[in-house]
A and B are shown apart, each in its own frame.
Chain A
Amino acid sequence: MGKLDLLSGNKAVAYGAKLSRVQVISAYPITPQTPIVEYLAEFIANGELDAEYIYPEGEHSAIAAALAATIGGARGFTATCAQGLGYAFEVVAQAPAYRAPLVMGVANRTLGWYWSVASDYSDSMPTRDLGWIQFYAESCQEALDGVIQMYRITEDERVLLPGMVCLDGFHLSHSSEPVDIPDQDEVDEYLPPRKIYKHTTDPTESESYVYPSLPVSLHTTYRKIFENAMQRTKDVIREVTKEFSERFERDTHGLVEEYHTDGAELLLITMGSMSTAAKRAVDRLRDRGVKVGLVRMRFFRPFPSEEILRIVEKNGVKAIGIVNRAISHGTSMDPLGAEVAATLYELKNRPNIINFIAGMGGGDVSIRDFESMVNKLTNTLNKENVRETMYVEHPIKIETPSVKFSDAAYCPGSQLCAGCGATLAMRHILKILGKNSVLVFPPNCVSASLAMHFPSSWMGVPYVLANYAAAAAYARGLQRAYKYRGKKVYVTVIAGDGCTADIGLQSLSSAAESNEPIIWINYDNEAYMNTGIQRSGTTPLNAWTTTTPAGVKWHGKKEEPKDMISIMIAHRIPYIATASPSFLRDFESKIKKAMKVVEKAEGLAYIHIQSPCPTGWRFPESKTVEIGRLATLTGVWPLLEVDHGTFKLNLKPRKLKPVAEYIKLQGRFRHLNDEDIAMIQKFINKRWEKLLELDGKIMW
């Protein structure tokens, strides 16, 4: 028998993946999915799981790498949500044709539109037509079981399709519940090792591979063949989840779950975690004699139309309320509502339908809400052919902020941590830039803090929230608009290291190469801090992060940080500089130089700021400026600039301080021994000598 533990939905998914003995994990941080891959990194670091771990530069690559691992014969796992799923859309669309049994965790979150990090299905719903199996968990237990079941389903030779295990962001992903973690032996008995199929791309074991393209004349035919596989999958799901249910003695099987459907005149159809509140509403209403039942969609793809028809016909259901965290704009229905309506077309006596759009953006749908919905259903009983949509709203009053500042580019009160280096940097950047600027924010700590006081902001200049991989492109478009309209506006990107060095590098590189007169500020806190301290391309060697933990097998980050300055030098842009908020005069003069460069439309100005992060680097918040100063004085963060090709070291201490002074103040380096520190010192010394050589040289 397994053991009982208190797990969040994310941890439950991570346990599901671990128990499924996943072999290649590839994922990129995104709220609220991130803890899934953090836990998996921890399992590997501690020697509890033997798997390859890939750190790609964005979701597009993350899902591609996991898919390719699955194509290559490994049991692949990835996880994402929202913008990440949207960014990876073309990979997601391509995956089914490889007939590769990839499993992806999706911690559902609003996609695009007005930003929210909380749960609705606007991310996974748009992928519903692509050929993935979609499972929606109601509880943390089901999230764990769902992963194991999903591998068994996807790897079944009658199926061989990719599958998503969806769990509501925050409602499930960050809520803890008692979860029965099965024993590894039991799971091994249920889930045999990954097989190599005839079409697996492995020249050592398989003599064939998947042909990637089709003649036009065969596309329709192959869509039919594929759809047959999808329909066939329903039987596999019924069969293997039943077996799971019996083996693990848990009632978690089938395409749908029925709750008090016997004799139900009224029927609620729900998905995901809100179903628990719906069940409690059903309990209360049944106590009062209302004949109401509930059908919970465990699987949305393939769509369980047989089950729905059977339940409606058997019980003579008169009215159905479909409740979902989704909407298909332009139809006034949500995809589930539309498909239930289409399913009912086969019936002679069709029940009335109300499609309730509820809980968008992560709003709670309460027991009382469900009672109100059932009330509305009851009201339709004396009518015929009702098809209605209702938005379940919880209106709030829009209030203005309690403290106001006039004509300021900046005001205090942001939600950034106490002692945040980026706050200090932002305050001085805004002071220099002034009101005649537009800021472009890809996701990062600062942009996340901007919209926290609805509907106000602590910044007195307009900003645009840019998609992560396209921050430079947003800036280019804005700049060209102002140029065309004869305006002078400083378009400035405030990006973190993740955007600059990883996911946004391609877009930045293109803008730099095209001489776009924009300012790019990379405030580098040396990890993905907004999502909670995951390794980035600029995380220093050996540093602890949540995805490079120190354990039996791992010793922090294994690689050297990416040298962004050299990359920008290779682009030959007019102004490149490093800066530190601990050296404010140097810092401010560099911002001014960058403004001159874009004023004259000479090209892109790149300023790389080290932004000490007390939360992520594990030091007391009073030490932010001190640590920034030590970084420069030890040679870890040299202050330099490349002004129109001329390299200059702005601060040359006669003797560098020992790097240990900088390292020993920070918890992220706590696991380092003297030997490790000596290695880092060697690296710093070598780099410093190189910098001294370059000082005063013309780079191109």
Chain B
Amino acid sequence: MRISGLRCWKMGNREEYPEIITISTKEIGSEPVAHWRVVKPVIKYETCIKCWVCVQYCPEGVIKESEKGPIIDYRFCKGCAICANECPVNAIKMVREV
């Protein structure tokens, strides 16, 4: 009995696949999720008291501490607004994405 493959559709692709697929624990990665966002958190640095509650509670962990206050990595912010909801001094405003 002959056994073969019928490569359809993307006929040009001749990639060799590894027999066992592995994931690296040394280097991980993902794709940005910015396009999920409907509203975007914007920090009012003049109001911010640097309590870092937003850093703690951001589910994604995309808010980092810095000298001037929290910095948001917008590539990975899903716009959940937990930071704005938790901020004790209302220093985070949710702005509609355009």
Residue with the highest number of chain A CB atoms closer than 10 Å, among B10, B13, B78: B78
Q: Is the CB of B26 within 8 A of A406?
A: yes
Chain A residues with CB under 8 A of B17: 398
- Also in contact, A419 and B1, with CB within 8 A (given A393-B8, A461-B25): no
Give, as a whole number of angstroms, the nearest-CB distance from A598 to chain B: 20
A411 to B58, CA, bound (A): 13
Chain B residues with CB under 8 A of A396: 10, 13
The one of A376, A388, A625 in contact with B3, judged by C-beta atoms closer than 8 angstroms, is: A388
- Chain B positions 1-55 with a Cβ under 8 Å from a chain A Cβ: 1-10, 13-15, 17, 21, 23-33, 36-37
A404 to B75, CA, bound (A): 12
Whether, in the assembled complex, A657 has its beta carbon less than 8 Å from a beta carbon of chain B, the answer is no
Residue with the highest number of chain A CB atoms closer than 10 Å, among B5, B79, B80: B80
Whether, in the assembled complex, B65 has its beta carbon less than 8 Å from a beta carbon of chain A, the answer is no
Whether, in the assembled complex, A395 has its beta carbon less than 8 Å from a beta carbon of chain B, the answer is yes
Give, as a whole number of angstroms, the nearest-CB distance from B53 to chain A: 9
A366 to B6, CA, bound (A): 13
Contact flags A359-395 to B (C-beta < 8 A → 1, else 0): 0000000101100110010000000000111111111
Give, as a whole number of angstroms, the nearest-CB distance from A350 to chain B: 14
Whether, in the assembled complex, B82 has its beta carbon less than 8 Å from a beta carbon of chain A, the answer is yes
Q: Is the CB of A624 within 8 A of B8?
A: no
Q: Is the CB of A419 within 8 A of B8?
A: no
A413 to B3, CA, bound (A): 41
Whether, in the assembled complex, A679 has its beta carbon less than 8 Å from a beta carbon of chain B, the answer is no
Q: Is the CB of B30 within 8 A of A401?
A: yes
Give, as a whole number of angstroms, the nearest-CB distance from A536 to chain B: 22
Whether, in the assembled complex, A673 has its beta carbon less than 8 Å from a beta carbon of chain B, the answer is no
Whether, in the assembled complex, A424 has its beta carbon less than 8 Å from a beta carbon of chain B, the answer is yes
In the complex, what residue of chain B is closest to A614 when comparing beta carbons? B80
- Also in contact, A403 and B30, with CB within 8 A (given A373-B6, A393-B7, A626-B85): yes
Contact flags B51-81 to A (C-beta < 8 A → 1, else 0): 0000011111110000000000101101111
Q: Is the CB of A413 within 8 A of B31?
A: yes
A459 to B29, CA, bound (A): 8
Contact flags A403-433 to B (C-beta < 8 A → 1, else 0): 1111110111111111111011001000000
Chain A residues with CB under 8 A of B33: 412-413, 415
Q: Is the CB of B8 within 8 A of A435?
A: no
Whether, in the assembled complex, A184 has its beta carbon less than 8 Å from a beta carbon of chain B, the answer is no
Chain B residues with CB under 8 A of A395: 7, 10, 13-15
Chain A residues with CB under 8 A of B28: 401, 404-405, 408, 411, 456-460
Chain B residues with CB under 8 A of A660: none
Q: Is the CB of B10 within 8 A of A398?
A: no
The one of B5, B56, B78, B79 in contact with A584, judged by C-beta atoms closer than 8 angstroms, is: B56
Whether, in the assembled complex, A221 has its beta carbon less than 8 Å from a beta carbon of chain B, the answer is no
Give, as a whole number of angstroms, the nearest-CB distance from B57 to chain A: 5
Give, as a whole number of angstroms, the nearest-CB distance from A397 to chain B: 6
A391 to B7, CA, bound (A): 8
The one of B21, B25, B31, B56 in contact with A455, judged by C-beta atoms closer than 8 angstroms, is: B21
Chain A residues with CB under 8 A of B58: 424
In the complex, what residue of chain A is closest to B18 when comparing beta carbons? A398
In the complex, what residue of chain B is closest to A624 when comparing beta carbons? B82
A620 to B79, CA, bound (A): 12
Chain B residues with CB under 8 A of A390: 3-6
Q: Is the CB of B15 within 8 A of A419?
A: no
Give, as a whole number of angstroms, the nearest-CB distance from A523 to chain B: 13
A411 to B28, CA, bound (A): 7
A368 to B7, CA, bound (A): 12
Residue with the highest number of chain B CB atoms closer than 10 Å, among A368, A393, A405, A435: A393
A403 to B76, CA, bound (A): 10
Q: Is the CB of A405 within 8 A of B29?
A: yes
In the complex, what residue of chain A is closest to B8 when comparing beta carbons? A369
Q: Is the CB of A393 within 8 A of B6?
A: yes
Residue with the highest number of chain A CB atoms closer than 10 Å, among B61, B73, B94: B61
- Chain A positions 451-469 with a Cβ under 8 Å from a chain B Cβ: 453, 455-462
- Also in contact, A398 and B15, with CB within 8 A (given A412-B73, A413-B32): yes
Question: Would you give 17 A-B contacts (Cβ < 8 Å), ordered by A?
Answer: A388-B1, A391-B6, A394-B7, A395-B14, A398-B17, A401-B28, A401-B29, A401-B31, A403-B31, A405-B29, A411-B28, A411-B30, A413-B31, A423-B59, A424-B59, A456-B24, A621-B82
Known: A388-B1, A394-B8, A413-B60. 15 other contacts (CB 8 A): A366-B9, A376-B6, A387-B1, A389-B3, A390-B6, A393-B8, A405-B29, A414-B30, A423-B59, A456-B24, A614-B80, A622-B80, A622-B81, A622-B85, A622-B94
Residues of A near any B CB (own CB < 8 A): 332, 356, 366, 368-369, 372-373, 376, 387-398, 400-408, 410-421, 423-424, 427, 435, 453, 455-462, 584, 614, 620-626
Residues of B near any A CB (own CB < 8 A): 1-10, 13-15, 17, 21, 23-33, 36-37, 56-62, 73, 75-76, 78-82, 84-86, 94
